[in-house]
Amino acid sequence: MNATMFRTELRLYFRDVAAVIFGILLAPAILAVLGSVPAFRAADPELGGRSTISIYVPIMLTMAVAMVALSMLPAQLATYRERGILRRLAATPARARDLLAAQALTQLTVLGIGVLLVLTVGWLAYGVDLPSNPTAFVLGFLLVAATLFGIGLVLATAGSAKMTQGLGSLTFFPLMFFAGLWVPREVMPETLQRIGEYTPLGAGVQVMQDATVGHWRQALHVVVLCAYAAVAWGVAARFFRWS
């Protein structure tokens, strides 16, 4: 990958105020608002003695990944394709796939910043414990990111940037529901909990929650994420167009 291209993509990203807000600041801001509610900081028997705010830390992390992977990345790639940037790059030493690699690394860098902000807000402001099993947490987060980036690349095959953004929104909100954004998964009806375990973000949140309390991820959730990732990356590789 061309290092100059990565630096250029990173600078372009931080010039976009909306991208910075939605990709980096939104998740920690929502967590800060939730943490300001005293009842959310108290231990809740219905949540296994954990506080609501501690439950929401993994949810906000998956939300940060989903915002980048399902909205920003596919829309950016679709815009580059519409403007002919990918096609023109094909005739230069900096090939189109170099731009794709630079975009991926840019989005991962943005995600890294967002993750640190969410963990810092939860830990310093509201006393949420850092993951008890950091290795499992990092591996689980990377698996979630790989899965959602694969889905994002599938969305990028849809056509225009507007179509891609619309599909990203249609995908984002149902997945976040099963991740527990509006109602924590622990208090959902059992049927919805079971359905959520077979969705990318439902499985992803559970993987990170397990790591937070010191457990390794369950085989079911790993298999679900790997299955989605394999299918998504396979479809993206088959149908993604550079021009």
Q: What is the per-residue pLDDT across 199-218, written as a single tens digit (0 to 9) for each?
A: 999 999 988 888 887 777 67
Q: Note every long-range contact of 133-136, with CB atoms under 8 Å and residues 24 or more positions apart, other chains counting.
A: 133/210, 133/211, 133/212, 133/214, 133/215, 133/216, 134/211, 136/207, 136/210, 136/211, 136/215, 136/216, 136/217
pTM over 0.75, yes/no: yes
H or E segment at 162?
A: helix 161-179
The total of structural domains in the chain comes to 1
Predicted confidence band of residue 2 (pLDDT cuts 50, 70, 90): low
**Selection from 123, 107, 14, 18 nearest residue 65 by Cα:** 107
Residue 129 structural domain: 3-239
Number of other CB atoms surrounding residue 8 within 10 Å = 14
DSSP state of 130: P
The Cα 28–Cα 21 span in angstroms is: 10
Give the pLDDT confidence of 17-41 residue by residue, as tens digits. Answer: 888 888 888 889 998 998 888 888 8
Share of the chain above pLDDT 70, in %: 95
